Structure 1
């Protein structure tokens, strides 16, 4: 055993879990590897601050989906609190990149063939595995979304159930999603509400049904997670670049509900569910104050110094995301009734404050100081190419373009594609008027002629 607060190394006999190699903190290339076949292994025993072994309250937690947005933070939290963490992964190289030995000494990385040995003797198993849903839903992607959740959950449940009495984990925390409830602009939903009938709701129902098959001796907590906000990932990582391109705004009507939760709160909720026997059954992992999407976008635009009033048309999102656009265009107002009843202390409850904290302050600046970029997209065709051509134009050229196209945003239906593009162009017109250096007349003329070729039919 290697004491974390001293240089003494002690070796003991056969154990169910350990290192195939001693951890070398000076060599970041050293690989964490699980092995159940060795008789002598070097184990890192975690200590409290005064150097005494703190084994009484130490937990051993096995986690699937540990390399994901929530999983990474949960591993960091458990590791910082001196608990033993076992990462159950399907990709060792990815896990080793996310959790390098130098920064995470003592963490076990186990591929699927070693999952049983990891789960045996664990205090808890946390199941966070699942492919992202924020992408275009092809037939294959929909299959991957479902299979990645159902198959991993089924495997974990089977491994737990096949263990002998006394060796099973005490608790099984399995993720689900607020997509279980379907969508609604008017209903207030909590843990007692019925399920929806769309694709995500069906996936969530089967996901949860699989988790409920775990042995009755194991305490089960199902956490239905909302949209997670936090630095370096989650929903904001996808939203911020769009706002930085001056293309941000509420998708569709903006009236859909946005049931969110801060990364710190969802990690703390899962952590509490591991430790607290009162946390069992279904628990909604959302902040107590869901907001309308228009309010969320307003707050994000305010923080970034970008416009947020321009609605993103339904047709654009459906073209980009297909059936997956429903995740963005439709929402649900989900309340964490169970967590509040249990007295869980939500610490991040103001979406405007949390957005401000999550977004890197360096990204906030006047729009004129940044190069404006609009990616070309085949789906939008000429419309998006026009937006791309606008990026370095002078005020006069933009005004001429608006006049030539005769596309006044006020004369178009709200949410219309032409309204969308023309409104962005009008915004650039106001920005360019005072902040962008005027290029040469030749460059201006060339850009203007290019836009005329790309103009609307």
Structure 2
């Protein structure tokens, strides 16, 4: 299988690249600044190749996508990269929509010749809206409509950006991911505070915390690439639902913090003052998004429980 990964230099894309190469697939990673020949991972060594792409122009993609088996589109500016100013919000949306539209335009320009068999389109569980209390939060299924708020609107536009591919006969799978826990990403930002005995729940701690181990994120994407019967949206979140306080307690246990020591929390008002809408939607609210369609398709999680996932990650 030859897979083109857009956004392949990021946290999830790099792990997916390694997994595909390890099983003998060929991978091409377009980026704004591909590595020069002779540097580790550059060129065509071991089935890996790079190409230049600016994230929005469909023309270079036409040649790259012709004859490949699959495309994975993970492009998007980091949601949690800083306070949601109007400028940052515009970049968050534009980076996602421009990349998806470029993929659709490139596929359309190929006129049905040499089209990839499958497109995996990134999204997030924020599609369903935000709930501040897990006890009152609905179980969000893949057939549910988008919720309200910036995250939901962004995810809906992100998913729609590459939708024309379906009319061209390309099997399209949408991955609505929770917080991906791995050696980097969100967990890396949390660990220093928890190791310093300063980690605790955010705000009330009652908000849902939708999570997935990086190995299961990658495994689910591989499953969707490999399974011709899979199409449409899939929740990529672990089966074990926890609230933010439950996550904080599990991470404290994983780093060896005494259970009897009170866990401090970050007050909601302070988070709102510092981060505005980012805090309101991404930190003080969440979603319960069980991976029902993944389970129905035959996919099994390696790390279905939070304690097992954190133990594995911290051991590594």
Q: TM-score w.r.t. structure 2 length?
A: 0.90
2:84 to 118, 122, 137: 137
Name the residue aligned to 1:168. Answer: 115
Q: CA deviation at 1:93?
A: 4.5
Q: After the TM superposition, which segments of 4 or more aligned residues of structure 1 sit over 6 Å from their partners?
A: 94-97
Name the residue aligned to 2:270. Answer: 316
1:163-312 alignment runs, 5 A limit: 163-184=110-131, 185=134, 186=136, 187-216=138-167, 217-231=169-183, 233-306=184-257, 309-312=263-266
Name the residue aligned to 1:67. Answer: 9
Q: CA deviation at 1:308?
A: 6.3
Q: CA deviation at 1:80?
A: 1.0
Root-mean-square deviation over aligned CA pairs: 2.1
CA distance in 1, matches of 2:96, 2:35: 21
Query: Secondary structure in 1 aligned to 2:96?
Result: helix
Q: CA deviation at 1:262?
A: 0.8
Q: Could you tell me whether the CA contact under 8 Å between 1:250 and 1:308 is conserved in 2?
A: no
Equivalenced residue count is 301
Q: Could you tell me whether the CA contact under 8 Å between 1:63 and 1:127 is conserved in 2?
A: yes
Q: CA deviation at 1:104?
A: 5.6
Query: Secondary structure in 2 aligned to 1:220?
Result: strand
Query: Secondary structure in 2 aligned to 1:145?
Result: helix
CA distance in 1, matches of 2:229, 2:46: 32
Query: Secondary structure in 2 aligned to 1:223?
Result: strand
Listed as ranges, the gaps of 5+ residues in structure 1 are 1-58, 362-457
Q: Does residue 298 of structure 2 align to residue 351 of structure 1?
A: no
Query: Secondary structure in 1 aligned to 2:165?
Result: coil
Query: Secondary structure in 2 aligned to 1:137?
Result: coil
Q: CA deviation at 1:103?
A: 11
Q: CA deviation at 1:193?
A: 1.9
Q: Using a 3 Å threshold, how does the CA distance of structure 1 residues 172 and 308 change in structure 2: closer, same or farther?
A: farther
What are the Cα deviations for residues 386-410 of structure 1, in whole angstroms up to 9, with x where unaligned?
A: xxxxxxxxxxxxxxxxxxxxxxxxx
CA distance in 1, matches of 2:67, 2:7: 20
Q: TM-score w.r.t. structure 1 length?
A: 0.63
1:13-52 alignment runs, 5 A limit: none
Name the residue aligned to 2:102. Answer: 155
Q: CA deviation at 1:360?
A: 4.9
What are the Cα deviations for residues 147-188 of structure 1, in whole angstroms up to 9, with x where unaligned?
A: 111101110111011113231111111011000000123211
Query: Secondary structure in 1 aligned to 2:164?
Result: coil
Query: Secondary structure in 2 aligned to 1:287?
Result: coil
Name the residue aligned to 1:90. Answer: 32
Q: Could you tell me whether the CA contact under 8 Å between 1:129 and 1:148 is conserved in 2?
A: yes
Name the residue aligned to 2:41. Answer: 100
Q: CA deviation at 1:95?
A: 11
Q: Using a 3 Å threshold, how does the CA distance of structure 1 residues 78 and 257 change in structure 2: closer, same or farther?
A: same
More strand as a share of residues: 2
- Residues 352-361 or 136-145, more deviating: 352-361
Query: Secondary structure in 2 aligned to 1:334?
Result: coil
CA distance in 1, matches of 2:244, 2:273: 20
**Bigger Rg, structure 1 or 2:** 1
Structure with more relative contact order (C-alpha pairs < 8 Å, separation 6 or more): 2
CA distance in 1, matches of 2:197, 2:45: 39
Q: Could you tell me whether the CA contact under 8 Å between 1:224 and 1:284 is conserved in 2?
A: yes
